[in-house]
């Protein structure tokens, strides 16, 4: 007699030690080794190979009976994101690709080499598009892992985030003291001398600290802990203050603004509820943060931050007009995912030239519009619509238990990462991309029916 693949409601989920180990290992490796970006392929290959192993296992044991409506919507959107670069690799007839906008220099090269009559894909540089598609393996795997996880595994993943952030914050302290030594930096970049932690870019370090602060808050408000719960909770409050100070120490203007928004996301709901305990917690965290900031002021980090706010001349404002021009030159088909750097160099104005080359648009929305054209803009609009629907649903149907609170904090973290993407490219690092996928998974879980969420938390 065949057994049903569906388990009865209320039956605890079976423990999956292999799945737990693989998902937490992937997240930890991505957070520690995934902060360099495409300029440092050695560490990226380690993260990608780990993600591929985990993805194969996750797909092999994927339980469809655990997926709800919004799970399938999330998986559908992930498939759409994976499909768009592949479409750009489909060979097009010669007459078709020659008629595409922005191919003048390619036509000249093809005419010189005698390949005008050969089929070519939409992407100007197919190898770059393939490389970009492979980078999607890490966030996709993390998203699938979160959907499959039970409550115990989710809590472990949150602790991995906090642990990796503590390591990054401590390393940043060492870098602030021994900034002239190459030995305390993971990557050889122009930002050596600044507390970049495990990243090559201080702005990405600041964003990780901000998102880690939200993650520590999720763990601190978890009511499942017993025994030493009070000591653990206050220890997490202390780590929140550490993360706030570490974000400010980077002297990142964007990071300091995102930090204020993250603190508002944590403390405003507490103030609205008028809880005396919440006021005590908020005051304690604020007091420790002020103490740490006072120490930072003595090291000069605060003066650097204030000095950067005083600067009204930002290079982004100079080359963004060139980016918008480049978008128009290949609209609506795009130049191909991963091709921003070579294509922008071929058309940037003399005013954009300087001592530093522009490898990204420092605005992911502009960069995606350039590389992906109209389909990428539609995909971004669909994701924004999903976030609005998710917020509306959580307002209308309050999820009991930890999942509901995780959903709101996840939504706040997603919003902060997307806000950062207006002036930078944080999601193009594996570390932030994996954490962003974790937040997206938590948001989808918060949209599940209450009965399904309760089953997951029973584990």
Torsion from C-alpha of 228, 233, 238, 240, nearest 10 degrees: 150
Length of the chain: 459
Assess contact for 429 and 33: CB atoms under 8 A: no
pTM for the whole structure: 0.85
Alpha carbons 377 and 370: distance in angstroms, whole number? 10
Q: What is the pLDDT along the chain (459 residues), one digit of tens a residue?
A: 444 443 444 444 455 788 889 999 999 999 999 888 777 888 889 999 999 999 988 888 776 656 677 888 888 999 999 999 999 999 999 888 888 888 887 888 887 887 788 889 999 899 999 999 999 999 999 999 999 888 889 999 999 999 999 999 999 888 887 766 777 787 777 777 788 888 888 899 999 999 999 999 988 877 555 555 777 888 888 898 889 888 888 888 888 889 988 988 887 766 655 555 555 555 555 555 555 555 554 455 555 555 555 555 556 667 788 888 889 888 999 899 999 888 887 777 666 555 556 777 888 999 999 999 999 999 999 999 999 999 898 888 766 556 667 888 999 999 999 999 998 899 999 999 999 999 999 999 988 876 555 555 555
Six token digits for residue 448 = 């599940």
- Bridge partners for 120 per DSSP: 92
Quick one: pLDDT at residue 276? 52
Q: Count Cα atoms within 13 angstroms, Cβ side, for 112.
A: 6
Tell me, what's the pLDDT at 10? 42
- Rounded to whole angstroms, the Cα distance separating 415 from 417 reads 6
> Which of these, 368, 361, 292, lies nearest to 336 by C-alpha position?
368
d(CA 193, CA 185): 9
In the beta sheet, which residues pair with residue 92? 120
**CA-to-CA distance for 302 and 250, rounded, in angstroms?**
9
Please tell me the distance from the alpha carbon of residue 90 to that of residue 102, in angstroms, as a whole number: 18
Residue written as tokens 């007839």? 93
What was the pLDDT predicted at 352? 59
H helical segments located in 9-150? 17-33, 41-60, 69-87, 94-98, 104-113, 126-135, 137-148
The closest of 205, 203, 191, 216 to 289, measured between CA atoms, is: 216
CA distances from residue 428 to 35, 181, 197 in whole angstroms, order as listed: 9, 27, 17
Asked if residues 157 and 149 have their Cβ atoms less than 8 Å apart, the reply is: yes
| Distance, CA of 13 to CA of 66 (rounded, Å) | 10
CA 136-138-141 angle, to 5 degrees, is 105
- Asked if residues 218 and 405 have their Cβ atoms less than 8 Å apart, the reply is yes
| Local structure of 36: helix, strand or coil | coil
Q: Does residue 320 contact residue 327 with C-beta atoms inside 8 Å?
A: no
* Per-residue CA distances from 41 to 8, 141, 168, 345, 404 (Å): 46, 19, 20, 22, 38
CA-nearest of 12, 452, 415, 409 to 219 is 409
């Amino acid at each position: 007699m065949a057994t049903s693949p569906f388990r009865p409601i209320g039956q605890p989920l079976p423990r999956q030690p292999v799945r737990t180990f693989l998902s937490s290992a992937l997240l930890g490796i991505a957070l520690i080794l995934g902060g360099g970006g495409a300029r440092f392929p050695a560490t990226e290959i380690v993260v990608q190979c780990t993600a591929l192993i985990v993805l194969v296992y996750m797909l092999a044991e994927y339980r469809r009976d655990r997926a709800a409506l919004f799970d399938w919507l999330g998986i559908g959107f992930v498939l759409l994101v994976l499909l768009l670069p592949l479409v750009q690799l489909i060979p097009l007839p010669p007459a078709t690709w020659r008629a595409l906008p922005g191919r003048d220099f390619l036509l000249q090269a093809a005419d010189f080499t005698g390949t005008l009559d050969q089929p070519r894909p939409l992407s100007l540089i197919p190898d770059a598009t393939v490389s970009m598609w492979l980078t999607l393996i890490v966030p996709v795997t993390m998203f699938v892992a979160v959907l499959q996880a039970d409550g115990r595994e989710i809590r472990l993943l949150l602790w991995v985030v906090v642990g990796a952030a503590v390591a990054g914050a401590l390393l940043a302290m060492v870098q602030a003291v021994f900034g002239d030594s190459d030995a305390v930096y993971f990557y050889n970049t122009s930002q050596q001398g600044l507390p970049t932690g495990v990243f090559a870019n201080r702005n990405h370090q600041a964003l990780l600290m901000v998102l880690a602060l939200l993650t520590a808050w999720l763990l601190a408000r978890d009511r499942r802990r017993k025994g030493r719960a009070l000591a653990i909770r206050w220890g997490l409050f202390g780590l929140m203050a550490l993360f706030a100070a570490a974000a400010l120490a980077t002297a990142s203007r964007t990071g300091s603004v995102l930090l204020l928004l993250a603190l508002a996301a944590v403390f405003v709901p507490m103030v609205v509820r008028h809880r005396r305990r919440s006021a005590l917690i908020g005051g304690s965290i604020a007091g420790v943060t002020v103490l740490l900031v006072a120490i930072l002021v003595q090291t000069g980090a605060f003066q650097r931050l204030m000095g950067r706010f005083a600067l009204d001349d930002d290079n982004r404002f100079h080359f963004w007009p060139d980016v918008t021009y480049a978008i128009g030159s290949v609209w609506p088909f795009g130049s191909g995912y991963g091709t921003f750097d070579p294509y922008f160099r071929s058309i940037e104005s003399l005013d954009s030239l300087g001592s530093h080359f522009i490898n990204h648009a420092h605005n992911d929305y502009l960069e995606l519009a350039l590389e992906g054209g109209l389909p990428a803009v539609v995909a971004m609009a669909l994701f924004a619509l999903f976030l609005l629907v998710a917020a509306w649903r959580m307002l209308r149907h309050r999820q009991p238990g930890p999942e509901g609170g995780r959903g709101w904090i996840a939504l706040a973290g997603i919003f902060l990462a997307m806000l950062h993407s207006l002036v930078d490219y944080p999601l193009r690092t594996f570390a932030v991309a994996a954490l962003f996928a974790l937040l997206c998974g938590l948001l989808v879980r918060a949209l599940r029916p209450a009965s399904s969420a309760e089953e997951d938390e029973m584990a």
